[in-house]
Structure 1
Amino acid sequence: MTTDIKEIIIQLESHCLWIETIGEQGEKLGIDEIDLRNVNLSQYPLDQAYITACIFDGMNLNHKDISSSLLCSSTFIYTNLEGADLCKSNVSYADFTNANIKAARLADSECIETVFVKADLSDANLVAGLFNETDFRDAVLFNADVRLATFERVLLKGAKLTGVRGLGEAFIKSINIGTPEHPIILLGAEAKQWLQFKSLNNE
């Protein structure tokens, strides 16, 4: 994690040029295991990039375009991602604990074993997302849109689900309303019924 900040800036500028010239110039961003907390990312695009196992903890990335990027195993703990665009991104194994993800777009995203513990996903667009063993424990999903999303072995203990939209069109295979150590698995119609009940009740 000791990569020079100047070197990162050069790579970010090259990625910006790569996007602007549709790949004619510059180079697509590919970084791994980099601590980005001391880098000012405000003027650099992060879409269509490979950013794996990097640290974004506590950063302000509100309304940032990070769409179509590979973000596997990166951490966004306490990060502000309000209104950010993560559409078509792969955030499998990433950690969004306590992150602000209000009104963000995670449509068509891949979230395998992604951690959203205590994250705020109010009004988030989760349409057609793949949620497999995703951890939403104690997360806030008020009015989130889950149309065409797939839920399989998703952890939901303590999640606030009031107003969740699109459950009728979602693919609810199974959910875990217990813990990883002591799972309480609900399947198919029973899982969808539980979610629909929670979405209609203020808790």
Structure 2
Amino acid sequence: MATDIKEIIIQLDLHHLWIETIGEKGEKLGIDEIDLRDVDLCQYPLDQANITACTFDGMDLHDKDISSSLLCSSTFISANLEGADFGKSNVSYVNFTNADIKGARLTDSECIETVFVKADLSDANLVAGLFDGTDFREAILLNADIRLAMFERVLLNGAILTGICGIEEALIKSINIGTPEKPIMLMGKEARIWIQNNSLNKLNDE
């Protein structure tokens, strides 16, 4: 769908006003199937918005507040999201393939079938997140915090889990260390032990 940049800017301005006036003025942002790659989002808040099936691929959104938003089915492929805040957001079915998500906050986020393939989540805060069918294959979760997070059917084949913390406080229901086509499922205690063992792996010296 073609993007009318002027119309999007108007909606972003109205959303900014809506946030500043706590809903007294302006209008909450609600967009669907919009390619935002030609829109400069630097000065606009993206928290508390409904932004579904939109395209952010390759964009620089470091330290961006995208908390408490509905982002289902949007794509952030190869985007810079270092330090971004997705706290309490619904990022189910979102594609973060190859994204830089170092130090990002995903606390209390909902990640159903979210794709983090080859994404860098080093030092990310995943506390109390819901990860159901989430794809972390070949992702970097170096020193990530998973306290109180729930893992169910989470794909971890090839993921770097060195230094991951909060494993004992996480609810580990099941993980898949195979592929979607040929799953190798580990349940409960067995899954937790596998994650613990992999969190102790030394990083290969390059």
Do Structure 1 and Structure 2 share a fold, with TM-score over 0.5? yes
Paired position in structure 2 for 1:63: 63
Aligned partners of 2:73 and 2:91 also within 8 Å? yes
Q: Which amino acid aligns with 1:133?
A: G
- Separation (CA, whole Å) in 2 of partners of 1:109 and 1:88: 5
Q: Which amino acid aligns with 1:102?
A: K
Structure 1 residues 36-94: Cα deviation after superposition (integer angstroms, max 9, x where no partner): 00000000000000000000000000000000000000000000000000000000000
Q: Which amino acid aligns with 2:35?
A: D
TM-score normalised by the chain length of structure 2: 0.98
Paired position in structure 2 for 1:166: 166
> Are 1:79 and 2:86 counterparts?
no
Please tell me the root mean square deviation across aligned C-alpha atoms, in Å: 0.5
Q: Which amino acid aligns with 2:138?
A: D
Aligned partners of 2:3 and 2:36 also within 8 Å? no
> Are 1:124 and 2:124 counterparts?
yes
Paired position in structure 1 for 2:112: 112
Q: Which amino acid aligns with 2:27?
A: E
SS of equivalent residue, structure 1 residue 111? strand
Shift, 1:145, TM fit: 0.1
Aligned partners of 2:53 and 2:73 also within 8 Å? yes
> Are 1:10 and 2:10 counterparts?
yes
Paired position in structure 2 for 1:50: 50
Shift, 1:95, TM fit: 0.1
Shift, 1:2, TM fit: 1.1
Q: Which amino acid aligns with 1:168?
A: E
SS of equivalent residue, structure 1 residue 47? coil
Report sequence identity in percent.
77
SS of equivalent residue, structure 1 residue 103? coil
- In the alignment of these two chains, the number of paired residues is 203
Aligned residue runs from structure 1 range 3-42, under 5 A: 3-42=3-42
Shift, 1:3, TM fit: 3.0
Aligned partners of 2:14 and 2:29 also within 8 Å? yes
- Separation (CA, whole Å) in 2 of partners of 1:175 and 1:89: 23
Moved segments of 4+, more than 3 Å: none
Q: Which amino acid aligns with 2:48?
A: Q
- Separation (CA, whole Å) in 1 of partners of 2:200 and 2:149: 19
- Separation (CA, whole Å) in 2 of partners of 1:21 and 1:56: 27
- Structure 2: runs of 5+ lacking an equivalent: none
Paired position in structure 2 for 1:140: 140
- Separation (CA, whole Å) in 2 of partners of 1:133 and 1:4: 35
Aligned partners of 2:64 and 2:81 also within 8 Å? yes
- Separation (CA, whole Å) in 2 of partners of 1:192 and 1:201: 15
TM-score normalised by the chain length of structure 1: 0.99
- Separation (CA, whole Å) in 2 of partners of 1:46 and 1:201: 37
Paired position in structure 1 for 2:100: 100
- Separation (CA, whole Å) in 2 of partners of 1:115 and 1:200: 24
- Structure 1: runs of 5+ lacking an equivalent: none
